[in-house]
Structure 1
Amino acid sequence: MSIKGRFARWLLLPLCCLASLAVAQQALAPVEARVPFAPAPVTGTDQRIHLAYELHVTNIYGDTGPLKLQELDVYADDGRAPIVRFGADDLARMTRPAPAEHAPVLIDAGKRVVIYVWLSLAAKSPIPRTLHHRMSFTTSTHKTELLDGVPLLLGTAAPVLIGPPLRGGWWLAHEGPGNPHSHHWGSLVAVNGQVTIPQRYALDLVGIDPRGHVVRADVKEIGKSRHADWIGYGADVLAVADGVVRDARDGETEHPPLSPQAEPTSLTARGLFGNYVVLEIQPGVFASYAHLQRGSVKVHVGDHVRRGQLLARLGQSGSSSAPHLHFQLSNAARFEGSEGLPFRFDRFDLLGPETEAQLFGQGTPWTPQPIQHRQAEMPLNDVVIGFSALP
């Protein structure tokens, strides 16, 4: 081919190919990166649309040395500009294992980190069909290397719409969606060749009184409190939808409130949940209720239940330091090997945020915001919700 012919061929290259060539000329990071479970968009109590997923990034070669994670850009569909950019400080807050305070994310040779990505879109924004990622790293010799890819096809099914899991009362949605450092989203379960997050969108629903406290006003020493002193203890636990009982357990001992907890015997429902019920509410969609009161479970495996039916009562069995209801949706009846799914309560009341310290009367007293009646939303981390005013 003549020089003129080669020049003409270059002129015919589309701009996207030229951009790809420019990327290829940069040093490509020697990492493997993947998203094990694609997110589905869900509307939260901030009335924004959220996507929650995890990027697993592994520094493959033993002689690479540590890679410092500098930046992560997320692109939607065919967009040329990122819809969000996370800098080094952001990534330090999003990553497990978490780096030391004020330290960058370093991925040592042969090691993996997990980046917990929480994307928030305005309520009326178009929802992407696909995402892709661009990450930059710095080597120990101050060389910059780039990852450009990790395509992700988003889930298209709308999150399940469900009814209340509890009858009446006000409840703090503690350790809830959006908090990568919670023991729910932040807990990877590795078993039999799989790494999953069964509790990705789980809630710990903690009963509170009008002061925002978890124990009754006449309790002087919370360390000596009894189950009956806790506001939510014994509350009715309800089926959130019609379904079939796929697993259930009763008879497990309840621990005294705030007592030391032994390590779980296994990362399974039987090792963690104490007394529990698992309902299949749609094909491949399972609602789990954990830490139930001993002797209160009303259903058995194979029973068909109706939405609003009494299943059990709130207690403190299993791996639980205080009375509360652990509630989650997942894609399998078993805890291990399942992935947590987003959901929406069809109706509930929102009373604003509350902190864990305020539960115990510490710091600024909790003041409920004017009640807002919400529909088809998922409670986010540390907001107070109520079901008492609903028909």
Structure 2
Amino acid sequence: MINDPKKALLFPLFILLTFICQAQDNRIPALPPALEIKVLQDPRPVVTGGHPALFYEIHLTNFSPSPLLLTKVEAQDAANTNTLTVIKENDLLQRIAAPGGATIPPGNVAVLFVEYTSAAGQFPAEIIHQVSFKNTLRDTTTVYTITGAKAKPVTGPAIVLGAPLKGGPWTAIYNPAWARGHRRVIFVKDGVARIPGRFAIDFIKLDSTGKVAAGDDDRIANWYGYGAAILAVADGVVSSTRNDFPESNTLSGHPDYAAHLATGNYISLKIAENTFVFYEHLQPASIVVKAGQRVKKGDVIARLGFTGQSTGPHLHLHVANADAPLGAEGLPFVFERFTLSGTIPDFNQFGNIPYIKLTQPVHHELPASNSVITFP
């Protein structure tokens, strides 16, 4: 009961204003969710497995007050909206790098990793992306669709490399779908996020039965590739080196290294403007070149080792647009020639089972994921 006459008069007025405000609020349509979509690095086509392919990323930022659930992403030819690829359901979940999976919390960023090939043999001059999503708080039945994130495939000649190693067989280890593979590891340096290993390959040598070592594989000297000659893949100038990492004699004795020490001993070779080839995990005291030195294609420049962030002796090779192992964007490349010597039937059993043998000459291609190859 309200005893104060003034309060008694104000109370009905308050109730009336409340109903008016609610009525006005119901008449105002809700703003559509604010999702920003961008492709920060225009893709450069690369031929692999006989088909041109694109590898790139879509950055999605949720500026809405509600979580947004991605349901589908479609890449289209900007000229005619013809579909190039569709990513949805489980495939969408597997391609997203974000704590919430396909659900992007307010104020958060997700990265969608995109790879697809062209059956037509080429890509359009400009690609756009149609992104479908739901607001998980207001109306879970309504699907919103926005179009944007333009990408212009880079034209021009491919980056062609000679052999980085001799003979083989070598397994070209990489898989764009691996959550912690080089393709999906984002490094932030000087406030800029980059993917230096977008096209990185780890080369491990096998014997004819598919094993990586003769005898005890805990001892690195038993690995078939350990100490193999590392070759200059093109004429160029050594841009930088690092040669102060020690090496454990065993896998079990290898220390853990932080990400900024991942390279181990390495060489950066400049082969063209804004084009640097990185050779990593090199054997201690094996680097025979120095910064500023000119090298010729095929020169021996180091030996395969087991330094830095590594699970076994191998050569890590990638190409990037700056002389910064973790602060540059990875670029696609192809090898002049190699022989496709086989495939691994079950990579979970790598090193323990024979590979399926093939003999197929290949020219000007990036080796297919986890294929077994032989260099000249």
TM-score, normalised to structure 2, is: 0.87
8 A contact 2:258–2:309 mirrored in 1 = no
- Residues 1:324 and 2:314 are matched in the alignment: yes
Aligned to 1:118: 115
Kindly report which structure 2 residues correspond to 1:73-152, keeping only aligned pairs within 5 A, or say none: 73-97=74-98, 105-122=102-119, 124-140=120-136, 141-142=139-140, 143-152=142-151
Kindly report which structure 2 residues correspond to 1:262-277, keeping only aligned pairs within 5 A, or say none: 262-265=255-258, 267=260, 271-277=261-267
Identity of aligned residues (%): 31
Kindly report which structure 2 residues correspond to 1:234-273, keeping only aligned pairs within 5 A, or say none: 234-259=227-252, 262-265=255-258, 267=260, 271-273=261-263
8 A contact 2:123–2:153 mirrored in 1 = no
Gap regions ≥5 residues in structure 2: 1-28
Aligned to 2:5: none
| Superposed displacement of residue 147, structure 1 | 1.7
Deviations 1:70-91 (A, max 9, x none): 0011101312331211112211
Aligned to 2:363: 375
Deviations 1:295-352 (A, max 9, x none): 1111011100000000100000111121000000000011232000000000001123
Aligned to 2:269: 279
Q: Out of 198, 201, 220, which is 1:200 matched to?
A: 198
Aligned to 2:17: none
Aligned to 1:70: 71
Q: 1:68 to 1:251 in 2, by over 3 A?
A: same
Gap regions ≥5 residues in structure 1: 1-24
Aligned to 2:18: none
Q: 1:261 to 1:97 in 2, by over 3 A?
A: farther
Kindly report which structure 2 residues correspond to 1:205-354, keeping only aligned pairs within 5 A, or say none: 205-216=203-214, 219=215, 221-222=216-217, 225-259=218-252, 262-265=255-258, 267=260, 271-354=261-344
Aligned to 1:20: none
| Superposed displacement of residue 261, structure 1 | 5.7
> What amino acid is the match of 1:379?
P
> What amino acid is the match of 2:366?
M
- Residues 1:185 and 2:183 are matched in the alignment: yes
Q: Out of 60, 67, 70, which is 1:57 matched to?
A: 60
8 A contact 2:220–2:251 mirrored in 1 = no
| Superposed displacement of residue 252, structure 1 | 1.4
| Superposed displacement of residue 273, structure 1 | 1.2
Deviations 1:187-226 (A, max 9, x none): 001121211000000000011111111111xx2x54xx21
Q: 1:115 to 1:170 in 2, by over 3 A?
A: same
RMSD over equivalenced CA pairs, Å: 2.0
8 A contact 1:198–1:339 mirrored in 2 = yes
Count residues in correspondence: 344
| Superposed displacement of residue 272, structure 1 | 1.6
Aligned to 2:41: 37
- Residues 1:384 and 2:375 are matched in the alignment: no
TM-score, normalised to structure 1, is: 0.83
Distance in 1 of aligned mates of 2:56 and 2:250: 33
Distance in 2 of aligned mates of 1:38 and 1:309: 33
> What amino acid is the match of 1:39?
P
Distance in 1 of aligned mates of 2:79 and 2:254: 50
| Superposed displacement of residue 32, structure 1 | 1.5
Q: 1:125 to 1:167 in 2, by over 3 A?
A: closer
Find the structure with the greater CA-based Rg. 2
**Counterpart secondary structure, 2:92:** helix
Distance in 2 of aligned mates of 1:349 and 1:211: 18
Distance in 2 of aligned mates of 1:245 and 1:36: 29
Structure 1: 4+ residue segments shifted above 6 A? none
Deviations 1:220-257 (A, max 9, x none): x54xx211111110101000000000001223111344
8 A contact 1:293–1:317 mirrored in 2 = yes
> What amino acid is the match of 1:120?
T
**Counterpart secondary structure, 2:278:** strand
> What amino acid is the match of 1:33?
I
